[in-house]
Amino acid sequence: MLSDNDINLLAFTQTLELTTRDLYLTVVGLKTLSEDEGALLAQFHSHHVAYEQSLNGLLSKNAATARNETVFADFATRLSTSSTPWATLQEIENTLVATHAKTIESIESAKVAALIASIITVEARQAAILATLTTSDLSAALDNNAIVLVAS
């Protein structure tokens, strides 16, 4: 059984995964993307769908049902005003990595912490892949200076 603290943190994490899932949907079909780029973004989208579903399974009746509209609006605006989505998508992934890593510090259940850690691993790789589409500087690609989002 999950503690109230873990439920709150997991539900917040789930809202961020729902948000990111929806943000990827806004760019997957862009006409400016090559077929390979579209396939890459579709794969990243499917990862966020899987994470949201895993969190939903843990939370059961306490699952979040909506994305974080504030975060969505902020990133959707930036995606809509950019000629390429790479840097904004990298920032989204880095924000999730930083936020999830901070969340693990407060999680009580080892099982829950392990799930979030497994999500972080893939999201960090996705951020690095996205970064290589904008820079050849490996240090810049791997640096994560994202702001941590806090559960309310």
Q: What is the CATH number of domain 4-142?
A: 1.20.1260.10
Mean pLDDT of 102-115: 96
Give the tens place of pLDDT for each residue, 77-94: 999 988 789 999 999 999
Contact (CB, 8 A) for 16 and 68: yes
Mean pLDDT of 36-45: 95
| pLDDT mean across residues, the chain | 92
Q: Does residue 146 carry a pLDDT above 90?
A: no
Structure tokens at 6: 């873990």
* pLDDT score at 135: 77
Q: Does residue 152 carry a pLDDT above 80?
A: no
Structure tokens at 13: 């994490």
Provide the percentage of residues in the chain whose pLDDT is more than 90: 78
pTM: 0.92
Q: Does residue 22 carry a pLDDT above 70?
A: yes
Mean pLDDT of 99-124: 96
**Phi, psi at 9, each rounded to 5°:** -65, -40
Q: What is the amino acid identity at position 111? A: K
Query: CA dihedral defined by 12, 121, 3, 21, rounded to 10 degrees?
Result: 30
